[in-house]
Every structure is written in structure tokens, then in C-alpha cells.
Amino acid sequence: VKNGAEKARRSIGAKRNPDSAEAILEAAEALLLEAGYAGFSIEAVARRARAGKPTIYRWWPSKVALLLDVYRRQKRDIDYSDTGPVEQDLFRFLKSLFRQWRETPAGNIFRSIIAEAQTDETAAKALADYSQGARRYTARIFEQARERGEVAAATDPEQAADMLASYAWVHLLTNRLDEDDEAIRSAVRMLTRGMLAGPSDGAPPA
């Protein structure tokens, strides 16, 4: 990224050197992009970033913590608009999330994180923390809809966000991010309107 002949980074005193953090995150991202998760090791990141391993371990207690930081560092371009109607909001959200996961390294990084969490206890914890935060954030779409009176007062926004995220995660994990608009809309419809037969046979009551 910089010129290869750059000077070795040094300590800048008894505080974190942001250059090192930057170099480490960049190296991690590049490795994930070039060689996938298989090529991603603390050793390799250190080598590429010209950083000492202890420097990485100092700031990222585990591989996943680093991975999550790389994931977070991706420029987000997710459409979280919660202006309603809710079905439109959800469609836009899923559409833009799938696109980002498809077209940037973010998707593969997040897949790696989920995979790692199946092996490593601390990874599982880190993922749980992260996904709870994300869930809470997404829940705002449902909260706004509830305030607008669009969805039933009894709806639990977090539960709804959980359901929504599950749908997205599993599509990511099974390489099905290329669903067409109709499939996504249909999934949203099931979440919002359910599937029970009614007077108008499942049409929205209103």
C-alpha cells in the first residue's frame, strides 16, 4: 500500500501506535482477500504488516477479535432506512446487505468469523457480542414501524431482527446471496404477514 521501502515503524511512547494498528488491519484484510480464510494466520498477518506478534496479541486477544475489526472496518453501505412502509425498509435492508456481502470481502470475512466461532470459545463470545449489537441496531426498523402503528404492539423488535438476521446469515453461509427480488420480497412478506389463511386468504388485513 505504502512504498515498500518505508521506514520501520517504532514505538511512539507508552501508547498505541495507530500506524501499526492500521498496518495490521490492512495486512489482515489483504490476506483474507488474496488467500481467503485459509491463508489468514496471526503469523502471516504479522509478517505482512512487518509487526511483531506480541503487538497483535496486545490489542486483539484472539484471531476473531482481529477478524471482527477487519469486518467492522469495511465501508458499510447498508440501507438501514426506517421510514416505512416496513416491508419496503426490510426489502431495501436485505437487498443492500446481500449486495455488500456479495461484492466486497465483507461477506467472506463474516463467514470466516461464524466458522471460527464454531471452534473457538472466545470467538463465539465475540460473535455473540457483535451480533447482539447488530440485532439491536436492526431492531430499530421494527421499533419505528411499531411507533408508526404499522406492526402489532406485541411484536418484539429483537425477535423480529433475529429472524431477519437468521435468514440473511444462512443465505450467506450457503452461498445463496443472489436471490432475486421476488424471493426476498416473499421472505419479507412471510415475516410481516405470516402465512395463515384468512378471510382474504393471507392478504394483509388492512
Partner DNA sequence: ACCTAAGCGAGACGGTACGTCTCGTCTTGCG
Partner DNA sequence: CGCAAGACGAGACGTACCGTCTCGCTTAGGT
Helix (H) or strand (E) holding 75: none
| Contacting residue, 1, 2, 3, 14, with DNA by CB under 7 A | 14
Backbone φ and ψ of 2, nearest 5°? -80, 180
Cβ 120 to DNA shortest distance, Å? 7
Contact 83, 89 (CB under 8 A): yes
Closest CA to 142 of 153, 128, 129: 153
Q: Is 115 in the site for DNA (CB under 7 A)?
A: no
| Contacting residue, 6, 11, 77, 102, with DNA by CB under 7 A | 11
Cβ 161 to a copy of itself shortest distance, Å? 11
Closer residue to DNA (CB): 58 or 102: 58
Cβ 134 to DNA shortest distance, Å? 25
Cβ 170 to a copy of itself shortest distance, Å? 4
Binding site for a copy of itself (CB under 8 A): 36-38, 111-112, 114-121, 124, 127-128, 131, 142, 149-156, 159-160, 162-163, 165-167, 169-171, 173-175, 183, 186-187, 190-202, 204-206
* 152 Cβ neighbours under 8 A, 6+ residues apart: 146
d(CA 55, CA 47): 12
Which cell numbers in the block locate residue 198? 384468512
- CB under 5 to 8 A by kind: which of a copy of itself, DNA, none does 118 bind? a copy of itself
Neighbour tally for 180: CB within 10 Å: 8
d(CA 108, CA 135): 20
d(CA 64, CA 125): 10
Neighbour tally for 101: CB within 10 Å: 21
d(CA 205, CA 192): 11
Closer residue to a copy of itself (CB): 5 or 152: 152
Of residues 24-83, those binding DNA (CB under 7 A) = 39, 41-44, 49-55, 57-59, 62-63
Cβ 5 to DNA shortest distance, Å? 13
d(CA 147, CA 171): 30
| Contacting residue, 8, 154, 196, 203, with DNA by CB under 7 A | 8
List residues binding DNA (CB under 7 A): 8-17, 20-21, 23, 39, 41-44, 49-55, 57-59, 62-63
